C-alpha cells in the first residue's frame, strides 16, 4: 500500500519516534491473527496521526473504523487530560482483541468503543469533535463526512485514510472501488467550507480543516 520504496520507508522510520511496546504487540498480533492485516495503520502512519492529534490537542475525537485499535491509541496520545476518543466499528469478531488491547493502554479510561453501524451510531453521540478520523468502508466516505461535518468545531480536523488507493486514482479506467475514492476526493476538492491537502503517507491521508465561521458565513 505504500507509495514509496521500502528503503525510503525504512529511512523515514529511522527518523521518527519509536513505537511503544504495546503498539508493537498490536502490530505483530494483527499480522499473525487477523485477516487483511494491511488495514492496520502501522508505525509511520501511526506517528503521523499521533503528531497531528498532539498539534490539535483535542478534547473529543471521533474515529470511524477501529480495526484492532492501533490508530485509536495513536490518536489518543494527543487528548487533553479530560479528553475522550469515541471509536466506532461494526466487526464484532475483533471485539475481544480490541478490548484487550485498549485495557493494556494508559488511555483505556479515555476510550469509548462502540460496535454497530457507524451511519447510525454517529447520530447517537451528543458531542462536538475537535478531530475526526475516517478509516472504514471506503464507499461510505462521503456519507461519513456529511454526517460528522456539523459535529466538528470550526478549525477542527477531519482526516480520511486510503485516498490514493495504492495509486489507482491515477488510472484512466477505474474500477468501482477506485471510482468511489475519486468521487470522494473530488467532493472534498470542491468544498469551499474547508482547507484541504493530501499527504502521500502510506496509502494517502486527506487532511481537511473546517474553516472558522465569521458572521454566519465560512471564511
What cell numbers appear for 149 in the block?
A: 461535518
Q: Is the pLDDT of residue 137 over 60?
A: yes
Q: What is the mean pLDDT of residues 131-147?
A: 96
Q: Is the pLDDT of residue 214 over 60?
A: no
Nearest to 49 by CA among 157, 146, 196, 139: 157
Give the span between the Cα atoms of 40 and 204, in whole angstroms: 14
Query: With pLDDT > 90 as the criterion, what percentage of the chain qualifies?
Result: 92
Share in percent of the chain as helix, strand, coil (round to 5): 45, 20, 30
**Per-residue pLDDT, 217:** 54
Q: What is the mean pLDDT of residues 170-182?
A: 96
Q: Is the pLDDT of residue 72 over 60?
A: yes
Cα→Cα distances 166→1, 34, 64, 181, 192, Å: 5, 21, 21, 11, 27
**Per-residue pLDDT, 3:** 77
Q: Is the pLDDT of residue 158 over 60?
A: yes
Model pLDDT for residues 2-16, shown as the tens digit of each residue: 678 889 999 999 999
Give the span between the Cα atoms of 146 and 138, in whole angstroms: 14
Amino acid at each position: 500500500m505504500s507509495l514509496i520504496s521500502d528503503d525510503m520507508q525504512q529511512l523515514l522510520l529511522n527518523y521518527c519516534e519509536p513505537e511503544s511496546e504495546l503498539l508493537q504487540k498490536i502490530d505483530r498480533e494483527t499480522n499473525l491473527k487477523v485477516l487483511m492485516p494491511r488495514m492496520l495503520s502501522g508505525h509511520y502512519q501511526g506517528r503521523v496521526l499521533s503528531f497531528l492529534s498532539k498539534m490539535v490537542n483535542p478534547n473529543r475525537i471521533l474515529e470511524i473504523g477501529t480495526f484492532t485499535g492501533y490508530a485509536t491509541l495513536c490518536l489518543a496520545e494527543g487528548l487533553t487530560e479530560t479528553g475522550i476518543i469515541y471509536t466506532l466499528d461494526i466487526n464484532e469478531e475483533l471485539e475481544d482483541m480490541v478490548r484487550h488491547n485498549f485495557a493494556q493502554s494508559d488511555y483505556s479510561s479515555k476510550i469509548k468503543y462502540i460496535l454497530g453501524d457507524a451511519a447510525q451510531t454517529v447520530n447517537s453521540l451528543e458531542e462536538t469533535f475537535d478531530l475526526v478520523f475516517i478509516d472504514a468502508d471506503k464507499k461510505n466516505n462521503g456519507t461519513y463526512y456529511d454526517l460528522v461535518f456539523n459535529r466538528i468545531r470550526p478549525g477542527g480536523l477531519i482526516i480520511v485514510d486510503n485516498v490514493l488507493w495504492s495509486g489507482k486514482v491515477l488510472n484512466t479506467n477505474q474500477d468501482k472501488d477506485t471510482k468511489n475514492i475519486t468521487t470522494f476526493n473530488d467532493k472534498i476538492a470542491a468544498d469551499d467550507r474547508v482547507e484541504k491537502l493530501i499527504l502521500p503517507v502510506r496509502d494517502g491521508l486527506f487532511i481537511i480543516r473546517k474553516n472558522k465561521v465569521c458572521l454566519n458565513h465560512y471564511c
